[in-house]
Amino acid sequence: MAMGAVEMRELKRLREHANLTQEEMVDHLTTLAKRLFAERRIGKLPTFTVRQLSKWESKEPPPWPHPDARAVLAAYWKRPVEELGLRPRGAKSDGGPIVLTPVPLITQEPAVGPLLVATGPAPLTDEAPPPWLAETTTGTDRSGEWRIVPEEVSFLSAAADDNYAIDQQFGANRLWRPTRAHLLWTHHMIDRGIYDDALGQQLHALAGKLTTSLGWFCYDAGLQDKARQYFSEALNAANYTSDDKLASRTLSNMSRQAVDLNKGREAVRFAKLGQRHAELWDAPTRVIALLAIREAQGYARLGDTFNCEAAIKRAWKEWERGGDERDPDWALFLNLAELTCLEGMCRLDLGQTARAQALLARSEAMQDAAHSRNRGMCLGRLSVAAVENGDVDHGLAAATEALRLVESGMSSTRTAAQLKIVHNGMLPHQRARGVGDLLEQIRAHVA
């Protein structure tokens, strides 16, 4: 039996399991739609009819509901509409990640204004702001409504940019918690505040930006399950708002994480899907280069030399076309030093240790202070490549410098994990001059 037929029956099965006729179901959806519209959770009030519901429940591919109707269906059944069997026209199942429509949260009471600091301790939830935020630039007007002002959105967006810059230099171990607090506050503004359509778009874009950043920070801090959760939420948000830039960025992040989790095929799929989204917004060459080198890393982890070489060539070809004023902030890290490092990582995974050492050494020499975390990652891999290449002295020097960065305050769990790999690779050479001391220092910092 075709999958589509089974999925169509799921929507009907849920309704019949609830002992509802189609007429009753339409009444319930209409009532919920009015409530969501009153809470400003949807932009327009959709109309539901028995004929429309019959089409959604049919065995034939149904029409794709309007975004506001999808939001009502998802909120009513408390699950993405894709799980009800609804799909956009032309959607194909190609083995890639399934992007689901977010399920709107339904408030118990209409919003009456911002929830400011309570007098006593209260748990931090998605419905309340962080309790340490004593004041904001938002406020209530004479009617008691909480009106969001552009300055608050700009402030939070600038904070997100600041955290990204801190991550590049010092790592993200200390960034995921404040970023989560910023994200909760942003969702609180979206759910409870009053704003026009233009500011609403900025708020949703900010939420997506914070969500994918939070996923990256969790990834760098070694919180892989949390990272995958936030990446999935960011991808859902990108799909819901047709934000192909956010989708490209998130899929690039997901591809990088998949490589570290030794999921090469998944990394390749994410990178290719990111490239398809990049085409939709005519992404600049630096973004195309980034997604190509992510694809190469996936192939390298699989040991697929042919496809890895092809992807590396595409990455360099795109990067050498030069920068663009449209380059997004999240792609600017891909400078000459970083692309050289990423190729070196591919060569190391392919077992080309001499070539990897040469590339990684060249990259490390070009890294600047603003990208100290990336330099630490490069040094760790340079040490591994040198030791595997029989060059213990250079491996020792690179590992010593990476350890110095950790001691100076860089807080990247990924760098610490790389030092553990260096430690294990150095063990057979622990009688060599200086190696024993280095091993002891690594154990003291990353044990």
Q: Specify the pairing of strand 146-147 against strand 139-140.
A: antiparallel
Residues 423-444: pLDDT tens digits? Answer: 787 788 878 788 888 788 777 7
Predicted pLDDT at 347: 95
Predicted pLDDT at 134: 38
Taking the alpha carbons of 63, 64, 67, 71 in that order, is the dihedral positive or negative?
positive
- Helix, strand, or coil here: 41? coil
Provide the CB-side half-sphere exposure for 12 (13 A, CA).
Answer: 15
Structure tokens at 40: 């400003």
Residues with pLDDT less than 50, the chain = 1-8, 93-99, 105-138
- Helix, strand, or coil here: 302? helix
What b-and-e string marks burial along 267-294, b requiring 16 or more CB atoms within 10 Å of the CB? bbbbbbbbbebbeebebbbbbbbbbbbb
Predicted pLDDT at 392: 85
- What angle, rounded to 10 degrees, do the helices at 336-349 and 372-388 form? 30
Predicted pLDDT at 172: 67
Predicted pLDDT at 436: 81
Predicted pLDDT at 446: 67
Short-list 230, 193, 210, 198, CA closest to 159: 210
Predicted pLDDT at 19: 86
Predicted pLDDT at 315: 97
Q: Mention every residue, 6+ apart, whose C-beta is less than 8 A from residue 250.
A: 212, 215, 231, 234, 235, 238, 274
Predicted pLDDT at 8: 45
Residues 17-28: pLDDT tens digits? Answer: 888 899 989 999
